[in-house]
Amino acid sequence: MGLTKEQLATLRDKLLQIRQALVNDVDNIQKHSNDEFESEVPDVNDDASRTYSRTVMLSRGEVDRHQLKLIDEALASIERGDYGTCTDCESEIPFPRLLSVPYVERCIDCMTKWEQSQTER
């Protein structure tokens, strides 16, 4: 059956909202990281704390950048007309799943199999 035009518009809007929030988050992380890196460190304990904070922020930034990539791929697939199709089995991903995570690439069955294969590594 596929997604209706209204459903696609809703999902596209949601993807764009999430994308903007992530872009803002990445920008804030980079700014905060640069500010901390450039500030003077009064003692060794502060240095260790700042190093840890910076590592956590950079790790979070990597997660955000990965999500941005998935969102950009989802937006491109809307333009191509193949959005909402599981990358593994090519079945349609149900609208409620897409509404929950609009940049999801797999149906629930394939995602479960993929996650199991990742834990077996």
Q: State the greatest distance between any 2 C-alpha atoms of the chain, in Å, as a whole number.
A: 63
Write down the pLDDT at residue 40: 55
Assigned CATH class of 5-119: mainly alpha
Domain ranges of the chain: 5-119
In the chain (121 residues long), the average pLDDT of successive 10-residue segments reads 93 98 86 61 64 68 89 97 96 97 97 93 73
**Burial group, residue 71, by CB count within 10 angstroms (0-12, 13-18, 19+):** buried
Q: Which two tokens stand for residue 57?
A: 């922020």
Q: Residue ranges of the alpha helices (H) in the chain?
A: 5-38, 44-80, 95-100, 108-119
Write down the pLDDT at residue 43: 61
Write down the pLDDT at residue 28: 82
Alpha carbon distance 31, 87 (integer Å): 35
- 47 neighbors 41 (Cβ within 8 angstroms): yes
